[in-house]
């Protein structure tokens, strides 16, 4: 349940735990339209079934999906490299496995013809071009990762693992003993927000090794703000992966949370235990009441970034390029 970065297959270990994301594969081999107004979601998951079961040459998929096919075969499924016939047989066994067939059936049952996410993908594309007119929006493809990966961002392809968004009550997640705090975010409504977050991280990996708590918090705030700009109608509860009660708790206790960070001189600390306590997905925030959600520092980071953008004449690209976390905090005039 991780992310590949573009080209390098570098894994982002924590991104899934921020917003349980998944990979989407398209319904055909067509490229996106010139106008970018109607994105074609290519169904790699279904194409793989057809090719593997018919025994057709893998070159069909290789030509259509390029390096993504290689990354899926050897990175996601962990099939060893070898002769084409050996890889073909391994893929055929995967597709014919009864458990894999059950997951494919569940994907079809939950997502059908992808109508439920198509409009959001179009919205993501249009807003992406609005904010980054010189950049190309990726091809969007769907796949069955068999519960290994959520979002795969590879070169010019954004892959969505639909098997990771079957609904919090999916029997597969129960059988695999996914904890409840993960399952609550493994819902169809999270596919496109998670895709946007995954694409952001692939383009702006953060390079946060050794950075202080404030930098980590602002980085997450920027990434969530980016998702909001790509999907302007998204509710804060869905954006943060909270229930309405959890979001209400954060809003009611925002001043208390911020006071804790200040009084304990946490902002410039590089203590990694603070990151795991306040910035990653967990059952709850340790040391806080049971109704307090996880990653409350991400909530604060988002609030700071929003106020910074409200108080400054900055574009989204300028915000992303701004690596001065303290400057963003000061420019926000944030006071809960």
Question: How would DSSP label each residue in 96-142?
Answer: H-HHHHHHHHHHHHHHTTSHHHHHHHHHHHHHHHHH-TTSPPPEEEE
* Residue carrying structure tokens 């509860």: 237
pLDDT score for 43: 96
Query: Domain residues of the chain, as ranges?
Result: 3-203, 213-332
Nearest to 127 by CA among 36, 33, 198, 31: 36
What is the C-alpha separation between 277 and 107, in angstroms, rounded? Answer: 34
pLDDT tens-place string over residues 89-114: 999 999 999 999 999 999 999 999 99
* Residue carrying structure tokens 């420019």: 331
| CB-based contacts of 264, cutoff 8 Å, min separation 6 | none
Nearest to 300 by CA among 260, 243, 245: 260
pLDDT score for 34: 40
Write out residues in the chain with pLDDT < 50, as ranges: 1-36
The count of C-alpha atoms lying within 13 angstroms of the C-alpha of 317, restricted to the half-sphere facing its C-beta, is 9
What is the C-alpha separation between 217 and 87, in angstroms, rounded? Answer: 43
Asked whether 4 and 154 are in contact (CB, 8 A), the reply is: yes
23: phi then psi, degrees, rounded to nearest 5: -105, 135
Look at strands 139-143 and 41-42 and give their pairing.
parallel
What is the C-alpha separation between 89 and 51, in angstroms, rounded? Answer: 11
DSSP H stretches of helix in 204-284: 213-230, 236-240, 244-252, 254-263, 272-278
pLDDT score for 276: 87
| CB-based contacts of 279, cutoff 8 Å, min separation 6 | 14, 216, 217, 220, 295, 297, 298
pLDDT score for 88: 87
In this structure, the number of other CB atoms found within 10 A of the CB of residue 210 comes to: 8
Nearest to 302 by CA among 257, 240, 243: 240
Please enumerate, as own/partner, the contacts of 200-207 that have beta carbons within 8 Å and a separation of 24 or more. Answer: 200/226, 200/227, 201/3, 201/5, 201/12, 201/15, 201/153, 202/3, 202/4, 202/5, 202/6, 202/153, 203/6, 203/153, 204/320, 205/5, 205/10, 205/12
Asked whether 250 and 242 are in contact (CB, 8 A), the reply is: yes
pTM (2 decimals)?
Answer: 0.88
pLDDT score for 52: 82
């Amino acid at each position: 349940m991780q992310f590949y970065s573009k080209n390098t297959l570098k894994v982002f270990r924590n991104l899934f735990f921020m917003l349980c994301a998944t990979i989407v594969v398209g319904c055909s081999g067509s490229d996106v339209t010139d106008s970018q107004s109607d994105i074609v979601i290519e169904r790699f998951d279904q194409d793989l079934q057809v090719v593997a079961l018919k025994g057709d040459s893998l070159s069909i998929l290789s030509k259509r999906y390029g390096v993504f096919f290689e990354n899926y075969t050897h990175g996601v499924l962990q099939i060893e490299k070898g002769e084409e016939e050996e890889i073909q047989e391994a893929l055929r066994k995967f597709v014919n496995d009864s458990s894999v067939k059950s997951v494919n059936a569940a994907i079809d049952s939950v997502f059908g013809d992808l109508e439920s996410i198509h409009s959001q993908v179009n919205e993501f594309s249009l807003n992406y071009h609005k904010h980054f007119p010189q950049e190309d929006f990726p091809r969007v493809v769907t796949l069955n990762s068999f519960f290994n990966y959520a979002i795969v961002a590879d070169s010019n392809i954004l892959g969505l693992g639909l098997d990771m968004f079957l609904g919090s009550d999916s029997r597969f997640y129960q059988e695999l003993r996914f904890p409840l705090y993960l399952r609550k975010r493994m819902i169809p409504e999270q596919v496109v927000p998670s895709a946007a977050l995954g694409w952001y991280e692939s383009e702006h990996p953060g390079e946060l090794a050794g950075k202080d708590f404030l930098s980590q918090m602002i980085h997450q705030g920027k990434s969530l703000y980016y998702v909001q700009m790509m999907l302007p109608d998204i509710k804060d509860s869905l954006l943060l992966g909270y229930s309405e009660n959890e979001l209400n708790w954060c809003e009611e206790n925002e001043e208390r949370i911020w006071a804790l960070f200040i009084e304990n001189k946490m902002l410039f600390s590089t203590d990694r235990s603070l990151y795991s306590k306040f910035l990653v997905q967990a059952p709850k925030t340790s040391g806080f009441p049971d109704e307090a959600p996880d990653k409350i520092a991400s909530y604060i980071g988002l609030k700071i970034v929003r106020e910074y953008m409200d108080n400054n004449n900055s574009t989204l690209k300028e915000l992303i390029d701004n690596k001065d976390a303290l400057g963003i905090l000061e420019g926000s005039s944030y006071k809960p």
